[in-house]
Amino acid sequence: MCDIIWCKKEKDGKVCDTVNYLDPYCFWNWEGKIACAECGTVYYIHMIQGHMYEGPDEKAGEKPDIYPLYADKPNDGYSNYLPGIEGRTRPYTCLPRHIYLGKADMVKFSARGRPVRGWRPQPPSAGVAGSHGYFWDIEKLSPEVWAEYLERLAKGEVKDW
């Protein structure tokens, strides 16, 4: 949920008609000036606990403190300004931590030790998105996983409900 400033400023004979999105993380308790991503009109706002307490009031000739994260023009075929466009939007800096930037783990067995059907790479016979339906012959489709399953079964690592 975020607040917006819908700019209706007339510039060069056309109405700006841009929706500037104010993400709640930056604007939760905030007071300052924000610029429209399309026409650059500066608005003063004061937000308390995510609610617009004061504004948006136009402040002509002043410099903005911050830019919106994202802006679009819904009445103009949804042309938009994505995060990180110089002088229009600010960059998106909330990137995942380094530990989440690796490759996904390949899981062949469930928590109880039973084989699962969603590992990669799936054989071409798996069809679209590796879907085997209810008939799933693991012995034919993946003999190496079947052999590992039998090994785990012999060691007693496979549990029932």
pLDDT higher than 70, residue 36? yes
pLDDT tens, residue by residue, 101-156 = 666 667 788 888 888 776 655 556 656 555 555 556 777 767 888 898 899 989 98
Instruction: Tell me how many domains the chain contains.
Output: 2
- The answer to whether residues 60 and 109 belong to one domain is no
Same domain? For 11 and 75 the reply is yes
**pLDDT tens-digit profile of 79-95?**
899 888 888 998 877 76
Q: Are residues 19 and 77 in the same domain?
A: yes
Q: Is residue 86 part of a domain?
A: no
Note down the domain range covering 20. 3-81
Q: Are 77 and 106 part of one and the same domain?
A: no
Q: Are residues 16 and 65 in the same domain?
A: yes
Domain boundary residue, one of 47, 81, 115: 81
Do the domain assignments include residue 43?
A: yes
Residues 117 and 146 in one domain: yes
DSSP 96-147: PPGGGSSPPPP--B-TTS-B-S--SSPPGGG-GGG--TT---HHHH-HHHHH
